[in-house]
Every structure is written in C-alpha cells, then in structure tokens.
Chain A
Amino acid sequence: NAGVTQTPKFQVLKTGQSMTLQCAQDMNHEYMSWYRQDPGMGLRLIHYSVGAGITDQGEVPNGYNVSRSTTEDFPLRLLSAAPSQTSVYFCASSSGSSGANVLTFGAGSRLTVL
C-alpha cells in the first residue's frame, strides 16, 4: 500500500493564481482531512470529510475549497492564492472519524505564494 499520497511536493505560485493540491489514499479510509503548518507552529485543520460527498470546515477554512467525489481522493483548491497561504500542507486519513481511529499523514506539499 502507498498510504497517503500528496502531489505536488513543491509549488510556487504568484498572488491571485489558483491551483489544486492532490491527496489520494489507497486504504479505503472514510475520513480524510487537510492541515496546514506554518513555520514553528503546530498543524491546523483546514477542511475534512467523513465520507464521499460530505465535507465540512475546520479551524482555518478561508481561501480554500474541497470536494470529495470518491473515497480515494480529497483535493484542496486554492481559488486565488495569497502570500498568507505560504505553508506546508498535509493530508491525512483514517478508517473512521472517532478518536480511536489512527490518522495517517502524507509527506506534505510545500507551497510558496509570491
């Protein structure tokens, strides 16, 4: 199993550009989520999904859009990139959303917005 796969690993954008960070998992996990990590900080939840067709906002959702059309994929869209969105983004998944289900993280996507 590949686990949680994120692409791209690195991306540089100009202010105002749009892009999509891809996240795919091959573990048939119901729950998927996106976090961002700023320098010297812990991770903060952006959006999450408890199953295909169901998404909800986390702690810092502004400027991001998500959808979940399949169990495997959970893309994160930046509609109009801003320098404040320069960060490392992590996708994570688990078999369920309860506290007993271990969250598995991807390797991260490093985004720089100029």
Chain B
Amino acid sequence: DAKTTQPPSMDCAEGRAANLPCNHSTISGNEYVYWYRQIHSQGPQYIIHGLKNNETNEMASLIITEDRKSSTLILPHATLRDTAVYYCIVRAGSGAGSYQLTFGKGTKLSVIP
C-alpha cells in the first residue's frame, strides 16, 4: 500500500471549517483514500472514502487532487466533539493489500472554543 503523510497536529476554532491535509504521492490507480477518526481510545470511526472523485456525506467532504497525490478532509463546521486523531489511509482496491488498513500516526485535531 502507498504511504501517507499527515501533519502531527492542527488546531481549529469551533464553528470554523477544519481542513486536514494528506499527502499520498505514491498512490496507484486502484487505491482508495479513506479517512477514519479516533476519539480517545474508542474504536476508529469511519468518516469518508473516495477513489478519484470528490465525495461528500453528512459528516465531511473529501477533496482529491486531479493527480491523486494528495487529498483534504473538510469538516465544514467543527465542534468540540470533533476533537480526535484523524487517520488518512490508502487502501488497495483488490488483492492482498485490500485486506487491511495501514494506520499511521494521524493528525491530532484540537477544536478550540
């Protein structure tokens, strides 16, 4: 699987948009970009994923650059409950590499009142 690079920490003011970047410059054509978050030591929570196109759901938006080498997770109106570690993960679409998610250290997002 391709590796990802994320900033170790970010701050965001409550009510503002949180933009979390992720670099995955070695991503290949059939690999998905996934975002999960983990609050304290709870189980990772799925946020969103995409292959080539930008995606939006009730939690967030995912913007993938045209060359697919980087992406941005956008939380449109951050709340204190969004304080968590956010993981950007590249996952193979098929084959042995699709069987696991490779978690890095993620970005610790702190939402400030």
Contacts and interface: CB of A to CB of B under 8 A. Distances in A.
B90 to A, nearest CB: 9
A42 interface: yes
Nearest to B92: A99
A107 interface: yes
A62 interface: no
B65 interface: no
Contacts of B87: 42
A97 B103 contact: no
Given A88-B41, A108-B43, A103 B101 contact: yes
B29 to A, nearest CB: 12
B42 A102 contact: no
Interface residues of A, number: 30
A87 B103 CA distance: 16
A106 interface: yes
Given A99-B30, A103-B46, A107-B42, A42 B93 contact: no
A84 to B, nearest CB: 19
Interface string A82-105: 000000101010000111101111
Interface of B: 30-32, 41-46, 49, 51, 87, 91-94, 98-106
Interface of A: 4, 31, 33, 37, 40-45, 48, 50, 56, 58-59, 88, 90, 92, 97-100, 102-108, 110
5 contacts: A4-B43, A40-B105, A43-B101, A45-B101, A48-B99
The 10 closest A-B pairs by CB, nearest first: A42-B103, A105-B43, A99-B93, A45-B100, A99-B98, A43-B103, A99-B32, A99-B91, A105-B44, A107-B43
